[in-house]
Copies of this chain bind each other. A is one copy, B any other.
């Protein structure tokens, strides 16, 4: 079982500055930015991130070309590493294609990727810096 939840949408972008400028032109205000590599926006009960395509491809362990135009991932955040493992096991048992087994990652969390039957890429993650709300929604911490 995995929760009926989406807590982060990641858009893989070719040029982060260009993408930031576009969303700024739409009136969007970044909530936090990390090392000039990723930018997060608080949206209703969840977050949307902009992340370099090459970095996103590397993060998923896939060639950049496989991401395609409009490359995107959906994420489900959890409260523990064990919850990530349990959900990953459930997903692959349900027929998901494993892309990257959950493992501790450089940003201090724990993350794995799978693809659904149509190739939609889901990340399952535990992020100790992003506690979930009681209702399963995500409110980004502010700097």
Q: Which residues of A contact B (CB under 8 A)?
A: 1-7, 9, 11-15, 18-19, 22, 25-29, 41-46, 48, 53, 66-72, 74, 90-91, 93-96, 115-121, 135-137
Contact = CB atoms under 8 A, between A and B. Distances in A.
B118 A11 contact: yes
20 contacts: A1-B27, A4-B27, A4-B29, A5-B43, A6-B9, A6-B44, A7-B44, A22-B96, A22-B116, A25-B94, A25-B95, A27-B90, A44-B45, A45-B46, A67-B70, A68-B68, A69-B118, A70-B70, A70-B118, A70-B121
Copies in the complex: 2
B94 A26 contact: yes
Nearest to A7: B44
Contacts of A70: 67-68, 70-72, 115, 118-121
